Structure 1
Amino acid sequence: MKELIAKIVRIFLLMSCKLVTGIQARWLTEPNNYRCKIYYANHSSHLDGLLLWSCFPKYLRSSIYPVAAQDYWGKTSFKRFIASDVFNSVLITRSPNCRENPLSILEDLLTKQQSIILFPEGTRGDGQHVADFKSGLFHLAKHLPNVELVPVYLNNLNRVWPKGSKLLVPIICSAVFGLPIKPLDETETKESFLNRAKQALEELAP
């Protein structure tokens, strides 16, 4: 029964968000399920994960896991249901006091040939600029060098659901899926890699 309710809610939310945003996806690299990937994107709205997930072909969605913050999406049973049951999200903690490695669950998924959606800024931005990346993307790239890293630029999501607002504003949005970036080199520093990954994302902006 819970699975049926989740399916109904998923269809309703996907249709509603597509109606409000008219999301248009542009692929510079073809999606496929033959190789696991980290799709990393800029973050400016709570709709980002949902809209990005909706851009994938239906047959791929079950193998792609959006990464979401436990402190927000795990706060109530309703939010946990939407994140985990409806949209297949993985909730991770952002607390520096966490005893467990928050990346371990992501590494397990990638090792099992599942893909993830990651927002390396770590928190919502203003939609005008891409903030510096946290170190998570670097550590995943270092531990799993065979995983492809695909930048995705989301445009206008911050205007659909402005920070602090409870109302959605109908505005055409877009998602540009770039080519995979060059894998992490053994001699490359964390700072150099993160700057390079960020630049690849920024170059997709309209």
Structure 2
Amino acid sequence: MKLVYVFDAYCGWSHGFSGTLREVAGRHPELPVEVVSGGLFTGPRRVPVREFGYVQGANAKIAELTGAEFGELYERLIADGSFVMDSEAAARGVAALRHVAPDRAAELAAGLQHAFYVEGRSLSEAATYRTVAQAAGLDADAVVAAFESPETQTAAHADFRRAAQLGVTGFPALLVVDGDSATPLAYGHATADEVDERLAAH
């Protein structure tokens, strides 16, 4: 039995869920956590942030509900509306971090969201992964090499397919997977206590 966390590094609600995921993982060290990138902004949705008029309002709601931080450097990054959130690049980054430290995928996913939403770093740039890797005490050169290799593109697309196979259409989603059965524990927002209740009932 394991937990599967389907998220998108460019999803504000996923950023808001980081604290819950950390708490749930801490309470259940016996459950491995598989992290899957969902692919929110790919294909025709890979457009400048100005085309998503709801970003600021949604972020305010997320911060209010979850206590998640949206930093000044992030606000500056998206201020002119030209920044493009590319979920494929972010998924490649998740795959690179996961490749180097598979047992720390959930923690590193949260670190990636912190890099974007607090530090205002683009998840399309290798330098961001170097910074996240160094902060986590990982081999930064290995993470950057993985990010730039064709294998992580394959891994990103495999993640998108995995999310679809699990029936996940919105992010974040936390599921408990036992053999062939996948049971949702949280969609969008939930507290660690709520997740625990659902897990106990599973």
Please give the TM-score of this superposition, normalised by the length of structure 1: 0.29
Answer 1 or 2: which has greater helix percent. Answer: 2
Please give the TM-score of this superposition, normalised by the length of structure 2: 0.29
